[in-house]
Structure 1
Amino acid sequence: MKARRSDDESLDSIRLRLDKCATQFDLFRLLREITEFYGFDSFFVAGSGEDGARTLSDMIIISSAQSNLIQRYDDLGLFDKSPLRRALAGTGVPFHCRLDVDFQGCTPEQLQALKAFREDFNIDSCFVTPVYHRDFGPGTVCFLGKKEPMCFADIADLALVSQLAHQKLRSVSAQPAVVDSPLTERERECLVWTSSGKTSVEIARILTLSEHTVNHYLNNAARKLNAVNRTQAVAFAIRQGFID
Protein backbone atom coordinates (compact mmCIF):
# COMPACT_ATOMS: atom_id res chain seq x y z
CA MET A 1 0.00 0.00 0.00
CA LYS A 2 2.97 2.31 -0.46
CA ALA A 3 1.85 3.70 -3.83
CA ARG A 4 -1.63 4.84 -4.68
CA ARG A 5 -3.42 2.79 -7.32
CA SER A 6 -6.93 3.29 -8.61
CA ASP A 7 -9.34 4.23 -5.83
CA ASP A 8 -11.51 1.14 -6.27
CA GLU A 9 -8.53 -1.23 -6.35
CA SER A 10 -6.95 0.36 -3.27
CA LEU A 11 -10.18 0.26 -1.27
CA ASP A 12 -10.85 -3.34 -2.23
CA SER A 13 -7.34 -4.32 -1.11
CA ILE A 14 -7.82 -2.65 2.27
CA ARG A 15 -11.22 -4.28 2.77
CA LEU A 16 -9.80 -7.73 1.97
CA ARG A 17 -6.95 -7.24 4.43
CA LEU A 18 -9.36 -6.05 7.11
CA ASP A 19 -11.38 -9.22 6.67
CA LYS A 20 -8.23 -11.29 7.27
CA CYS A 21 -7.27 -9.56 10.54
CA ALA A 22 -7.53 -12.15 13.31
CA THR A 23 -6.06 -10.25 16.25
CA GLN A 24 -5.81 -6.71 17.61
CA PHE A 25 -2.19 -6.62 16.53
CA ASP A 26 -3.11 -7.56 12.94
CA LEU A 27 -5.53 -4.65 12.91
CA PHE A 28 -3.08 -2.28 14.62
CA ARG A 29 -0.45 -3.01 11.96
CA LEU A 30 -2.93 -2.56 9.11
CA LEU A 31 -4.26 0.70 10.56
CA ARG A 32 -0.72 2.05 10.68
CA GLU A 33 -0.38 1.27 6.97
CA ILE A 34 -3.74 2.89 6.24
CA THR A 35 -2.62 5.96 8.20
CA GLU A 36 0.49 6.30 6.04
CA PHE A 37 -1.43 5.47 2.85
CA TYR A 38 -3.75 8.43 3.36
CA GLY A 39 -0.95 10.81 4.35
CA PHE A 40 -1.45 10.99 8.12
CA ASP A 41 1.05 10.35 10.91
CA SER A 42 -0.93 8.47 13.57
CA PHE A 43 -4.37 7.17 14.46
CA PHE A 44 -6.51 6.32 17.43
CA VAL A 45 -9.78 4.52 18.03
CA ALA A 46 -11.81 5.67 21.02
CA GLY A 47 -15.05 4.67 22.69
CA SER A 48 -17.44 6.93 24.55
CA GLY A 49 -15.87 5.98 27.87
CA GLU A 50 -17.45 4.66 31.06
CA ASP A 51 -18.81 6.38 34.13
CA GLY A 52 -18.86 9.80 32.51
CA ALA A 53 -15.20 9.81 31.45
CA ARG A 54 -14.18 13.33 30.49
CA THR A 55 -10.72 12.84 29.02
CA LEU A 56 -9.57 11.37 25.75
CA SER A 57 -7.06 9.17 27.59
CA ASP A 58 -9.93 7.39 29.35
CA MET A 59 -11.68 6.72 26.05
CA ILE A 60 -8.80 5.46 23.91
CA ILE A 61 -9.05 1.81 22.88
CA ILE A 62 -6.03 1.58 20.60
CA SER A 63 -3.62 4.16 19.19
CA SER A 64 -0.35 4.57 17.27
CA ALA A 65 0.16 8.13 18.52
CA GLN A 66 3.11 9.06 20.70
CA SER A 67 2.33 8.11 24.28
CA ASN A 68 2.53 11.70 25.48
CA LEU A 69 0.44 13.21 22.69
CA ILE A 70 -2.95 12.18 24.09
CA GLN A 71 -1.95 13.13 27.64
CA ARG A 72 -0.74 16.54 26.45
CA TYR A 73 -4.03 17.05 24.61
CA ASP A 74 -5.97 16.31 27.80
CA ASP A 75 -3.70 18.56 29.83
CA LEU A 76 -4.65 21.50 27.61
CA GLY A 77 -8.22 21.21 28.91
CA LEU A 78 -9.70 21.58 25.43
CA PHE A 79 -11.54 18.29 25.07
CA ASP A 80 -15.04 19.72 25.61
CA LYS A 81 -14.30 22.53 23.12
CA SER A 82 -12.97 20.28 20.39
CA PRO A 83 -14.78 18.65 17.43
CA LEU A 84 -13.93 15.27 18.97
CA ARG A 85 -16.50 15.83 21.71
CA ARG A 86 -19.48 15.52 19.36
CA ALA A 87 -17.82 12.77 17.32
CA LEU A 88 -17.38 10.61 20.43
CA ALA A 89 -21.14 10.67 20.81
CA GLY A 90 -21.21 8.54 17.66
CA THR A 91 -23.27 11.09 15.75
CA GLY A 92 -22.65 13.34 12.80
CA VAL A 93 -20.76 12.82 9.56
CA PRO A 94 -17.03 12.25 8.95
CA PHE A 95 -15.03 15.47 8.77
CA HIS A 96 -11.49 16.75 8.25
CA CYS A 97 -10.85 19.55 10.72
CA ARG A 98 -8.05 22.02 11.34
CA LEU A 99 -6.51 22.17 14.79
CA ASP A 100 -5.98 25.91 14.45
CA VAL A 101 -9.48 27.05 13.51
CA ASP A 102 -12.06 24.50 14.66
CA PHE A 103 -11.90 25.09 18.42
CA GLN A 104 -14.50 27.43 19.91
CA GLY A 105 -14.67 29.36 23.17
CA CYS A 106 -10.95 29.07 23.94
CA THR A 107 -9.06 31.60 26.01
CA PRO A 108 -5.98 33.30 24.48
CA GLU A 109 -3.83 31.15 26.77
CA GLN A 110 -5.49 27.96 25.55
CA LEU A 111 -5.05 28.99 21.92
CA GLN A 112 -1.37 29.66 22.55
CA ALA A 113 -1.01 26.27 24.21
CA LEU A 114 -2.79 24.64 21.28
CA LYS A 115 -0.37 26.31 18.87
CA ALA A 116 2.58 24.92 20.83
CA PHE A 117 0.91 21.49 20.81
CA ARG A 118 0.60 21.56 17.01
CA GLU A 119 4.19 22.61 16.57
CA ASP A 120 5.64 20.14 19.06
CA PHE A 121 3.87 17.16 17.48
CA ASN A 122 3.97 18.48 13.89
CA ILE A 123 0.23 18.10 13.31
CA ASP A 124 -2.28 20.62 12.05
CA SER A 125 -5.40 18.60 11.31
CA CYS A 126 -7.33 15.40 11.93
CA PHE A 127 -9.83 13.28 10.07
CA VAL A 128 -12.63 12.06 12.33
CA THR A 129 -15.24 9.40 11.66
CA PRO A 130 -18.02 8.93 14.24
CA VAL A 131 -18.75 5.21 14.60
CA TYR A 132 -21.29 3.08 16.41
CA HIS A 133 -21.41 -0.56 17.48
CA ARG A 134 -24.62 -2.14 18.70
CA ASP A 135 -22.89 -3.90 21.61
CA PHE A 136 -20.36 -1.22 22.58
CA GLY A 137 -22.11 2.03 21.67
CA PRO A 138 -20.64 5.16 20.05
CA GLY A 139 -17.05 6.06 19.41
CA THR A 140 -14.69 7.53 16.85
CA VAL A 141 -11.80 6.66 14.56
CA CYS A 142 -9.35 9.53 14.15
CA PHE A 143 -6.28 10.11 11.97
CA LEU A 144 -3.80 12.87 12.89
CA GLY A 145 -1.11 14.61 10.91
CA LYS A 146 0.03 17.51 8.76
CA LYS A 147 -2.38 17.13 5.90
CA GLU A 148 -3.87 19.24 3.12
CA PRO A 149 -7.69 19.28 2.71
CA MET A 150 -8.93 15.93 1.46
CA CYS A 151 -10.85 15.35 -1.75
CA PHE A 152 -14.38 13.96 -1.55
CA ALA A 153 -13.32 10.50 -2.80
CA ASP A 154 -10.65 10.11 -0.10
CA ILE A 155 -13.07 11.33 2.57
CA ALA A 156 -15.67 8.76 1.49
CA ASP A 157 -13.12 5.93 1.29
CA LEU A 158 -11.42 6.67 4.61
CA ALA A 159 -14.77 7.03 6.36
CA LEU A 160 -15.81 3.59 5.09
CA VAL A 161 -12.46 2.08 6.08
CA SER A 162 -12.82 3.62 9.55
CA GLN A 163 -16.27 2.10 10.03
CA LEU A 164 -15.05 -1.34 8.91
CA ALA A 165 -11.91 -1.12 11.05
CA HIS A 166 -13.97 -0.22 14.12
CA GLN A 167 -16.29 -3.17 13.60
CA LYS A 168 -13.31 -5.49 13.10
CA LEU A 169 -11.55 -4.16 16.21
CA ARG A 170 -14.60 -4.88 18.33
CA SER A 171 -14.94 -8.37 16.88
CA VAL A 172 -11.29 -9.37 17.45
CA SER A 173 -10.90 -7.72 20.85
CA ALA A 174 -10.51 -9.93 23.88
CA GLN A 175 -13.76 -11.55 24.89
CA PRO A 176 -15.49 -10.29 28.06
CA ALA A 177 -13.78 -11.50 31.20
CA VAL A 178 -14.86 -14.80 32.68
CA VAL A 179 -17.17 -14.09 35.62
CA ASP A 180 -14.81 -15.57 38.19
CA SER A 181 -11.65 -14.10 36.65
CA PRO A 182 -9.56 -12.12 39.14
CA LEU A 183 -8.19 -9.90 36.35
CA THR A 184 -9.34 -6.41 35.49
CA GLU A 185 -9.99 -5.55 31.84
CA ARG A 186 -6.70 -3.61 31.56
CA GLU A 187 -4.77 -6.50 33.09
CA ARG A 188 -6.35 -8.85 30.58
CA GLU A 189 -5.54 -6.52 27.67
CA CYS A 190 -1.90 -6.32 28.72
CA LEU A 191 -1.70 -10.12 29.01
CA VAL A 192 -3.33 -10.56 25.59
CA TRP A 193 -0.75 -8.26 23.98
CA THR A 194 2.05 -10.00 25.90
CA SER A 195 0.84 -13.34 24.55
CA SER A 196 1.22 -11.83 21.05
CA GLY A 197 4.89 -11.13 21.74
CA LYS A 198 4.61 -7.42 22.49
CA THR A 199 7.00 -5.72 24.92
CA SER A 200 5.88 -3.31 27.63
CA VAL A 201 7.02 -0.38 25.47
CA GLU A 202 4.98 -1.64 22.52
CA ILE A 203 1.91 -2.33 24.66
CA ALA A 204 2.19 1.14 26.16
CA ARG A 205 2.17 2.65 22.68
CA ILE A 206 -0.78 0.57 21.53
CA LEU A 207 -2.92 1.29 24.60
CA THR A 208 -1.61 4.88 25.09
CA LEU A 209 -0.40 4.08 28.58
CA SER A 210 3.00 4.65 30.15
CA GLU A 211 5.46 1.76 30.25
CA HIS A 212 5.33 1.99 34.03
CA THR A 213 1.53 1.55 33.99
CA VAL A 214 1.74 -1.46 31.68
CA ASN A 215 4.30 -3.10 33.96
CA HIS A 216 2.04 -2.34 36.92
CA TYR A 217 -0.88 -4.15 35.26
CA LEU A 218 1.30 -7.11 34.29
CA ASN A 219 2.77 -7.38 37.77
CA ASN A 220 -0.72 -7.27 39.28
CA ALA A 221 -1.87 -9.98 36.88
CA ALA A 222 1.12 -12.19 37.75
CA ARG A 223 0.50 -11.69 41.47
CA LYS A 224 -3.20 -12.56 41.17
CA LEU A 225 -2.37 -15.70 39.18
CA ASN A 226 0.48 -16.74 41.52
CA ALA A 227 2.87 -16.58 38.58
CA VAL A 228 6.57 -15.80 38.90
CA ASN A 229 6.70 -13.68 35.71
CA ARG A 230 4.57 -12.41 32.85
CA THR A 231 5.29 -15.41 30.63
CA GLN A 232 3.98 -17.77 33.29
CA ALA A 233 1.05 -15.40 33.91
CA VAL A 234 0.07 -15.65 30.24
CA ALA A 235 0.25 -19.45 30.38
CA PHE A 236 -1.85 -19.58 33.54
CA ALA A 237 -4.41 -17.12 32.13
CA ILE A 238 -4.81 -19.15 28.94
CA ARG A 239 -5.09 -22.39 30.88
CA GLN A 240 -7.81 -20.95 33.13
CA GLY A 241 -9.70 -19.44 30.19
CA PHE A 242 -9.17 -15.85 31.36
CA ILE A 243 -7.70 -14.94 27.94
CA ASP A 244 -7.86 -16.69 24.57
Structure 2
Amino acid sequence: MTDTLLATLVTALLAGLGGLLVPRLIARVPEPAPRAEPEEPQEPQESEEPEQPEPPKMLYADIAVRPGLGRRSAVAAALVGGLIGWATGLDWSLLWLVPLVPVGVALSVIDWHTRLLPRIIVIPATLAAIVLVVVVGLATGERDALVRALVAMVVVRTFYWVLWSVLPGVGMGFGDVRLAAIVGLVLGWLGWGAVAIGVWVGMAVFGLPGLVLAIVRWDRTLLRKPFPFGPFMLVGAVVGLVWGTALAGRIWG
Protein backbone atom coordinates (compact mmCIF):
# COMPACT_ATOMS: atom_id res chain seq x y z
CA MET A 1 0.00 0.00 0.00
CA THR A 2 1.44 3.36 -1.02
CA ASP A 3 1.73 6.28 1.37
CA THR A 4 -0.81 8.26 -0.65
CA LEU A 5 -3.40 5.50 -0.49
CA LEU A 6 -2.77 4.97 3.21
CA ALA A 7 -3.12 8.69 3.90
CA THR A 8 -6.35 8.81 1.89
CA LEU A 9 -7.92 5.91 3.75
CA VAL A 10 -6.79 7.01 7.21
CA THR A 11 -7.87 10.64 6.79
CA ALA A 12 -11.20 9.62 5.28
CA LEU A 13 -11.85 7.26 8.22
CA LEU A 14 -10.82 9.72 10.93
CA ALA A 15 -12.62 12.67 9.38
CA GLY A 16 -15.73 10.55 8.81
CA LEU A 17 -15.76 9.47 12.45
CA GLY A 18 -15.46 13.12 13.43
CA GLY A 19 -18.35 13.93 11.12
CA LEU A 20 -20.59 11.64 13.18
CA LEU A 21 -20.07 14.01 16.10
CA VAL A 22 -21.27 17.09 14.19
CA PRO A 23 -24.84 16.96 15.62
CA ARG A 24 -23.46 16.79 19.17
CA LEU A 25 -21.16 19.74 18.51
CA ILE A 26 -24.00 21.83 17.09
CA ALA A 27 -26.31 20.92 19.97
CA ARG A 28 -23.74 22.24 22.47
CA VAL A 29 -23.52 25.70 20.90
CA PRO A 30 -25.29 28.26 23.10
CA GLU A 31 -27.89 30.44 21.46
CA PRO A 32 -26.81 34.05 20.81
CA ALA A 33 -28.37 36.84 22.80
CA PRO A 34 -31.39 38.34 21.05
CA ARG A 35 -30.75 41.57 19.18
CA ALA A 36 -32.24 44.72 20.62
CA GLU A 37 -34.83 46.17 18.30
CA PRO A 38 -34.77 49.93 17.64
CA GLU A 39 -37.42 51.95 19.47
CA GLU A 40 -38.45 53.87 16.36
CA PRO A 41 -37.96 52.03 13.06
CA GLN A 42 -36.51 54.23 10.36
CA GLU A 43 -38.68 55.07 7.41
CA PRO A 44 -37.17 53.97 4.08
CA GLN A 45 -36.16 56.72 1.66
CA GLU A 46 -38.18 57.18 -1.49
CA SER A 47 -35.42 55.71 -3.62
CA GLU A 48 -34.93 52.75 -1.34
CA GLU A 49 -36.96 49.57 -1.20
CA PRO A 50 -38.31 48.63 2.23
CA GLU A 51 -36.24 45.94 3.88
CA GLN A 52 -37.96 42.63 4.40
CA PRO A 53 -37.88 41.42 7.99
CA GLU A 54 -35.50 38.55 8.57
CA PRO A 55 -37.09 35.22 9.50
CA PRO A 56 -36.41 34.01 13.05
CA LYS A 57 -33.12 32.20 13.49
CA MET A 58 -33.31 28.44 13.53
CA LEU A 59 -32.31 27.06 16.93
CA TYR A 60 -29.07 25.10 17.13
CA ALA A 61 -30.88 22.35 19.00
CA ASP A 62 -33.34 22.03 16.12
CA ILE A 63 -30.50 21.88 13.58
CA ALA A 64 -28.76 19.15 15.59
CA VAL A 65 -31.77 16.82 15.47
CA ARG A 66 -32.43 17.12 11.76
CA PRO A 67 -32.94 13.61 10.34
CA GLY A 68 -29.79 12.11 8.89
CA LEU A 69 -27.52 15.01 9.85
CA GLY A 70 -24.90 12.78 11.45
CA ARG A 71 -24.83 10.41 8.49
CA ARG A 72 -24.60 13.19 5.90
CA SER A 73 -21.94 15.00 7.92
CA ALA A 74 -19.88 11.81 8.21
CA VAL A 75 -20.06 11.22 4.46
CA ALA A 76 -19.13 14.82 3.66
CA ALA A 77 -16.27 14.82 6.16
CA ALA A 78 -14.97 11.48 4.88
CA LEU A 79 -14.97 12.70 1.27
CA VAL A 80 -13.19 15.94 2.14
CA GLY A 81 -10.77 14.17 4.46
CA GLY A 82 -9.95 11.59 1.82
CA LEU A 83 -9.31 14.31 -0.77
CA ILE A 84 -6.97 16.14 1.59
CA GLY A 85 -5.13 12.92 2.49
CA TRP A 86 -4.75 12.09 -1.19
CA ALA A 87 -3.36 15.56 -1.90
CA THR A 88 -0.95 15.82 1.04
CA GLY A 89 0.08 12.22 1.65
CA LEU A 90 1.41 11.34 5.09
CA ASP A 91 2.28 14.90 6.04
CA TRP A 92 2.49 16.62 9.40
CA SER A 93 -0.21 19.06 8.28
CA LEU A 94 -2.78 16.28 8.73
CA LEU A 95 -2.47 16.83 12.49
CA TRP A 96 -4.55 20.00 12.16
CA LEU A 97 -6.31 19.40 8.84
CA VAL A 98 -8.11 16.19 9.87
CA PRO A 99 -9.70 17.65 13.04
CA LEU A 100 -10.65 20.81 11.16
CA VAL A 101 -12.65 18.86 8.56
CA PRO A 102 -15.61 17.91 10.83
CA VAL A 103 -15.39 21.34 12.46
CA GLY A 104 -15.72 22.89 9.02
CA VAL A 105 -18.70 20.66 8.25
CA ALA A 106 -20.39 21.75 11.48
CA LEU A 107 -19.74 25.43 10.74
CA SER A 108 -21.09 25.02 7.22
CA VAL A 109 -24.30 23.43 8.50
CA ILE A 110 -24.77 26.15 11.11
CA ASP A 111 -24.03 29.00 8.73
CA TRP A 112 -26.29 27.56 6.03
CA HIS A 113 -29.28 27.49 8.38
CA THR A 114 -28.60 30.59 10.48
CA ARG A 115 -26.09 32.78 8.59
CA LEU A 116 -24.02 32.79 11.78
CA LEU A 117 -20.59 31.37 12.55
CA PRO A 118 -20.41 30.90 16.33
CA ARG A 119 -17.23 32.30 17.82
CA ILE A 120 -17.36 29.56 20.46
CA ILE A 121 -16.35 27.15 17.69
CA VAL A 122 -14.26 29.35 15.40
CA ILE A 123 -11.94 30.89 17.98
CA PRO A 124 -10.93 27.68 19.83
CA ALA A 125 -10.43 25.90 16.49
CA THR A 126 -8.22 28.76 15.30
CA LEU A 127 -6.13 28.81 18.48
CA ALA A 128 -5.70 25.02 18.44
CA ALA A 129 -4.63 25.10 14.78
CA ILE A 130 -2.13 27.89 15.48
CA VAL A 131 -0.58 25.91 18.35
CA LEU A 132 -0.26 22.77 16.21
CA VAL A 133 1.21 24.70 13.27
CA VAL A 134 3.78 26.41 15.51
CA VAL A 135 4.75 23.17 17.30
CA VAL A 136 5.09 21.20 14.06
CA GLY A 137 6.90 24.02 12.29
CA LEU A 138 9.49 24.34 15.07
CA ALA A 139 9.84 20.59 15.71
CA THR A 140 10.34 19.67 12.05
CA GLY A 141 12.41 22.68 11.05
CA GLU A 142 9.77 23.91 8.61
CA ARG A 143 10.42 27.51 9.56
CA ASP A 144 9.55 28.92 6.13
CA ALA A 145 6.18 27.14 6.06
CA LEU A 146 5.48 28.25 9.64
CA VAL A 147 6.21 31.91 8.96
CA ARG A 148 4.27 31.81 5.69
CA ALA A 149 1.26 30.23 7.41
CA LEU A 150 1.19 32.87 10.15
CA VAL A 151 1.66 35.74 7.69
CA ALA A 152 -1.04 34.32 5.39
CA MET A 153 -3.39 34.06 8.35
CA VAL A 154 -2.96 37.77 9.07
CA VAL A 155 -3.15 38.76 5.40
CA VAL A 156 -6.32 36.78 4.60
CA ARG A 157 -8.07 37.86 7.80
CA THR A 158 -7.16 41.48 7.11
CA PHE A 159 -8.42 41.18 3.54
CA TYR A 160 -11.81 39.91 4.71
CA TRP A 161 -11.92 42.52 7.48
CA VAL A 162 -11.46 45.25 4.88
CA LEU A 163 -14.24 43.76 2.76
CA TRP A 164 -16.50 43.55 5.80
CA SER A 165 -15.72 47.17 6.71
CA VAL A 166 -16.11 48.87 3.32
CA LEU A 167 -18.72 46.60 1.70
CA PRO A 168 -21.35 45.92 4.35
CA GLY A 169 -23.93 45.03 1.71
CA VAL A 170 -22.16 41.95 0.34
CA GLY A 171 -23.68 39.70 3.00
CA MET A 172 -20.48 39.11 4.94
CA GLY A 173 -20.55 38.98 8.72
CA PHE A 174 -17.74 39.28 11.23
CA GLY A 175 -17.89 35.53 11.75
CA ASP A 176 -16.58 35.20 8.20
CA VAL A 177 -13.69 37.49 9.15
CA ARG A 178 -12.84 35.21 12.07
CA LEU A 179 -13.08 32.13 9.84
CA ALA A 180 -10.70 33.73 7.36
CA ALA A 181 -7.87 33.32 9.87
CA ILE A 182 -8.12 29.52 9.73
CA VAL A 183 -8.38 29.59 5.93
CA GLY A 184 -5.24 31.70 5.63
CA LEU A 185 -3.34 29.60 8.16
CA VAL A 186 -3.93 26.18 6.59
CA LEU A 187 -3.47 27.41 3.02
CA GLY A 188 -0.38 29.42 3.90
CA TRP A 189 1.40 26.31 5.15
CA LEU A 190 1.25 24.95 1.58
CA GLY A 191 2.22 28.13 -0.25
CA TRP A 192 1.02 31.46 -1.58
CA GLY A 193 -0.39 29.81 -4.69
CA ALA A 194 -2.73 27.75 -2.52
CA VAL A 195 -3.73 30.91 -0.64
CA ALA A 196 -4.54 32.82 -3.82
CA ILE A 197 -6.52 29.98 -5.40
CA GLY A 198 -8.38 29.10 -2.20
CA VAL A 199 -9.49 32.66 -1.48
CA TRP A 200 -10.41 33.37 -5.12
CA VAL A 201 -12.43 30.17 -5.52
CA GLY A 202 -14.30 30.83 -2.27
CA MET A 203 -15.33 34.29 -3.41
CA ALA A 204 -16.14 33.15 -6.94
CA VAL A 205 -18.46 30.32 -5.93
CA PHE A 206 -20.08 32.59 -3.33
CA GLY A 207 -21.21 34.95 -6.06
CA LEU A 208 -22.67 32.27 -8.31
CA PRO A 209 -26.01 31.48 -6.56
CA GLY A 210 -27.23 35.08 -6.52
CA LEU A 211 -25.99 35.72 -10.05
CA VAL A 212 -27.65 32.62 -11.47
CA LEU A 213 -30.94 33.37 -9.72
CA ALA A 214 -30.85 36.99 -10.89
CA ILE A 215 -30.31 35.90 -14.49
CA VAL A 216 -32.90 33.12 -14.44
CA ARG A 217 -35.56 35.24 -12.74
CA TRP A 218 -34.39 38.53 -14.26
CA ASP A 219 -34.52 40.16 -10.84
CA ARG A 220 -31.57 42.30 -9.79
CA THR A 221 -32.81 42.50 -6.21
CA LEU A 222 -31.71 38.89 -5.77
CA LEU A 223 -28.11 40.11 -6.01
CA ARG A 224 -28.65 41.79 -2.64
CA LYS A 225 -30.20 38.75 -1.03
CA PRO A 226 -27.96 37.52 1.80
CA PHE A 227 -26.33 34.11 1.45
CA PRO A 228 -24.19 32.27 3.98
CA PHE A 229 -20.57 32.98 3.10
CA GLY A 230 -18.83 30.47 5.38
CA PRO A 231 -19.56 27.28 3.39
CA PHE A 232 -18.20 28.86 0.22
CA MET A 233 -15.06 30.03 2.01
CA LEU A 234 -14.49 26.47 3.19
CA VAL A 235 -15.11 25.04 -0.29
CA GLY A 236 -12.47 27.43 -1.58
CA ALA A 237 -10.10 26.33 1.18
CA VAL A 238 -10.53 22.66 0.20
CA VAL A 239 -9.87 23.50 -3.46
CA GLY A 240 -6.79 25.44 -2.42
CA LEU A 241 -5.54 22.57 -0.26
CA VAL A 242 -6.09 19.89 -2.89
CA TRP A 243 -5.44 21.65 -6.21
CA GLY A 244 -4.25 25.15 -5.31
CA THR A 245 -0.51 24.67 -5.75
CA ALA A 246 -0.91 22.87 -9.09
CA LEU A 247 -3.40 25.41 -10.43
CA ALA A 248 -1.26 28.34 -9.33
CA GLY A 249 1.74 26.78 -11.05
CA ARG A 250 -0.16 26.50 -14.32
CA ILE A 251 -1.58 30.02 -14.09
CA TRP A 252 1.43 31.95 -12.86
CA GLY A 253 4.23 29.50 -13.60
What TM-score, normalized to structure 2? 0.22
Higher helix proportion (structure 1 or 2):
2
Computing the radius of gyration from Cα coordinates, the structure with the larger value is: 2
